[in-house]
Structure 1
Amino acid sequence: MSADEEERETAAESSASVTSPESESESSPKPSEPTGAVAGDAPTDRPAPGDWLGRARAQLSGAGAMIVVLLVLLGFALVVQLRSTSTDPTLAAARQEDLVRILSDLESQEERLRQDIAALEESQRQLASGAQGRQAALEEATRRANELGILAGTLPARGPGLEIRFVAGAKPIRASALLDAVQELRGAGAEAMQIAGADGTPVRIVADTFFLDAENGISVRGRPMSGPYTITVIGDPTTMRTALNIPGGVVASVNGDGGNVIVQEREVADVSALSVPSDLKHARPVS
C-alpha cells in the first residue's frame, strides 16, 4: 500500500471515531427525564399534591357538616324571632308609655310565676316525704282553698298594700279611670281589692266586677257610689305604686283632668267586704 493510500485510510478512521455535538445530545439522557431505577435508591412514590388535600377534606367533612347545620338552624331561629317581633301590630302601634306599662306587667308576672313554681316544688317535696304526706296534703288543700276564697272574694283578707284615694277636680272621676286603676293593680300583682265611695261602704272587687258611669257618680256591680273614691288593695306596695305612676297611666290621666290621686302605703291593709257569688247559667265544671 502506497503512502497516499495509508494517509487516506487513517483520515477516514479518525472521522468515524469523532461524533458531532448534536448526536451526543440526542444519545445522552435529559436531566428532566428519569434515567431508570438504580440499585440502592430509595422508593420515590410520593403522593400527588391533590392527595393530601383530599384526605384533609374527608377528615373535616363530618365536623364541617355539623357546623353548617347548626349555623343554618341558628339563622333560621333568629329570622323567625325578628319577623315575629317586627310584625306584631299591637307593639308596633303602641305608645312609649304603653310599652313601659307592658314591660312592667310582664316583669311582675314573671316574678309571680317564679314564686308559684317555688311554692309548687316545695309542696311536691312535702307530699312525697312519706309519713308526713297526708298531713302535708291536708295543709296544702286548706291553703289552696283559702287562696281561692280570697280571689273569689268570699273570704276577708289582710296584708301589706296601698290605700288609693281619687279626688275629682274640674271634671268628675269617670268609671273608666277606676277600671284602669284596677287593671294596673292586677297587672302589678294585686291579690285582693275593695272600693268605697263617700259613704264608706266597701264593695269587693273580683273578676266579674264592672264599673259604670251613673248620674251622681259611678255604679260598681250595680251599687251606686259618689266621690271621692277609695280603693284598698293588698299586694307589694312598691310594685303597685310604680304601676300607677308610669307615664300615661291612671295617675297622669286623673291629674290631666284636674283631679288628684293620693297613694298611701299600709303595713296592714284590711279588705273586709265580701262578694256574693252569682249563679252560673251556662258554665258547668268539666269532670
Structure 2
Amino acid sequence: MSDEHSETGTGWPAPGEPVRPSGPAGEPDPRPDAPDADELSPLAPEEPVEREDVVPVESPVEPERPDAAAKPAAGGAGGRRWTSAGAMIAVLLALLGFTLVVQLKTTSADPTLSATREEDLVRISSDLDSRERRLRQDIESLEESQRQLRSGEQGRQAALDEATRRADQLGILAGTLPAVGPGLTVRFEGPAKAVSSARVLDAVQELRGAGAEAMQIAGSDGAAVRIIASTYFVDGENGSLVVDGRRLSAPYTITVIGDPETMRTALYIPGGVVALVEEDGGNVTVDDREAVEVSQLHAPIKLDHARPVS
C-alpha cells in the first residue's frame, strides 16, 4: 500500500479540491454576458433568493393554559379514580353535616312553641300554673284525710265523712247528682260544619283537660243532656246534633263548672276549639259565671257483669 493511500487511514486517498475539466468542456464561454462557470457549478453553494411577494406562513402555536401543569400525565387512571373517591367522600360528609344540623334544630326547640305568640305563651303558662295549684290542693286534702283517718277517737267519724264526700264527687262525675259552682257558658253558633259533632267533642275534651267537674249541653229548644264519661256525639239530620241518643238543634250551649280562667285559656289556645270553629265560619261565645248550675241528671248505668269487690 502506498503512502498516498495510507494518509486517510481508510486505505483511500483524501478528496481534493474540484478540478476544472480540461478540453472544450473546461474552456470558458466566449459570450460576453455568459455567467461564470463557477457560478453554474453544482459544487458552488446556492445563495438564498429573497422574494417580496412571498409571505411567510407562521405555524399555529397553541396557547399555554394555566392548568396545563395540573393535568395528569397520559395514562393517569389513578388520578381519575382519586377524584371520584374524593367527590364521594365530600358528598357523604355534606349529608352527615346536614343531618346533624337538622337533628340539633329539632331537639333544641319545639317548633310549635317557637311560632306561638307571646300572649298565647302567657295563657299556656297560666293554665299550667292553675293545674299545678289544683293538684297541690288535692294533695293537701288527701294528706289531711289520711291524718284524720289515722287518729284514734275521730277515726270513725272522719271515715264516714270522707266516704260521704267521695260518694258526692262520684255522683257528680257520674251525672246522678246536680252540681253548682263557678264556671262558664259556651255557646256555639254557625253552619253545620262549624258546630259539628267533632267540634263539640273537641270542646268537651278541652274543658275536661282544664279541670271541668260537671257539664251539660242544651239545644235551642231547651232540651239538655248531662255530659259524663260515656257520652257520645253524632251528627244528625238537617244540621242537628245527637247526644246520647237525644236530638238537639243548633245553636248549642255547654254549661260547665270549674275554674273559669283555666277553662277559657284552654278554649282559646292557638289551633284550639275557638280557632277551628271560627275558621269554618262559626262563632263561639264564652261567658264567665260566678255560679252556674248543672241540673240535668243522667240515668244510672245498669251494670250487667261488673260487681264491686268487698
| TM-score, L = length of structure 2 | 0.58
Cα 1:169/1:123, change in 2 over 3 Å: same
Corresponding position of 2:145: 123
Query: Residue by residue, what CA displacement relative to the aligned partner does 1:104-152 show, whole Å, maximum 9, x if unpaired?
Result: 8765554433222111101112222322221111111111100010011
1:141-220 superposed matches below 5 A: 141-169=163-191, 171-216=193-238, 217-220=240-243
- The one of 259, 264, 274 equivalent to 2:297 is 274
Cα 1:174/1:144, change in 2 over 3 Å: same
- The one of 231, 234, 250 equivalent to 2:273 is 250
Letter in 2 for 1:148: L
Q: Assess if the C-alpha contact under 8 Å between 1:193 and 1:233 holds in 2.
A: yes
Cα 1:262/1:93, change in 2 over 3 Å: same
Corresponding position of 1:136: 158
More RCO (CA 8 Å, sep 6+): 1
Q: Does the residue aligned with 2:271 lie in a helix, a strand or coil?
A: coil
Q: Which runs of 5+ in 1 are unaligned?
A: 1-84
Query: Residue by residue, what CA displacement relative to the aligned partner does 1:191-211 show, whole Å, maximum 9, x if unpaired?
Result: 000000011121000000010
Q: Does the residue aligned with 1:165 lie in a helix, a strand or coil?
A: strand
Using the alignment, how far apart are the partners of 2:208 and 2:193 within structure 1? Answer: 26
Cα 1:165/1:113, change in 2 over 3 Å: same
1:239 aligns with 2:262: yes
CA apart distance, 1:173: 1.2
Q: Assess if the C-alpha contact under 8 Å between 2:217 and 2:225 holds in 1.
A: yes
- The one of 210, 225, 228 equivalent to 2:248 is 225
| TM-score, L = length of structure 1 | 0.62
Q: Assess if the C-alpha contact under 8 Å between 1:164 and 1:230 holds in 2.
A: yes
Q: Does the residue aligned with 2:250 lie in a helix, a strand or coil?
A: coil
Q: Assess if the C-alpha contact under 8 Å between 2:194 and 2:277 holds in 1.
A: no
Q: Assess if the C-alpha contact under 8 Å between 2:194 and 2:278 holds in 1.
A: no
Corresponding position of 1:54: none
Using the alignment, how far apart are the partners of 2:226 and 2:294 within structure 1? Answer: 8
Q: Assess if the C-alpha contact under 8 Å between 2:148 and 2:158 holds in 1.
A: yes
Q: Assess if the C-alpha contact under 8 Å between 2:235 and 2:242 holds in 1.
A: yes
CA apart distance, 1:103: 7.7
Q: Assess if the C-alpha contact under 8 Å between 1:198 and 1:225 holds in 2.
A: yes
Q: Assess if the C-alpha contact under 8 Å between 1:169 and 1:260 holds in 2.
A: no
Pick which of 167-176 and 136-145 moved more: 167-176
Cα 1:194/1:102, change in 2 over 3 Å: same
Cα 1:192/1:224, change in 2 over 3 Å: same
Letter in 2 for 1:252: A
Cα 1:202/1:140, change in 2 over 3 Å: same
Using the alignment, how far apart are the partners of 1:276 and 1:183 within structure 2? Answer: 22
Q: How many residues align?
A: 200
Q: Does the residue aligned with 2:180 lie in a helix, a strand or coil?
A: strand
Q: CA RMSD for the aligned pairs?
A: 2.9
Q: Does the residue aligned with 1:208 lie in a helix, a strand or coil?
A: coil
Cα 1:139/1:190, change in 2 over 3 Å: same
Of structures 1 and 2, the larger Rg is shown by 2
Letter in 2 for 1:208: S
Cα 1:108/1:281, change in 2 over 3 Å: farther
Q: Assess if the C-alpha contact under 8 Å between 1:127 and 1:137 holds in 2.
A: yes
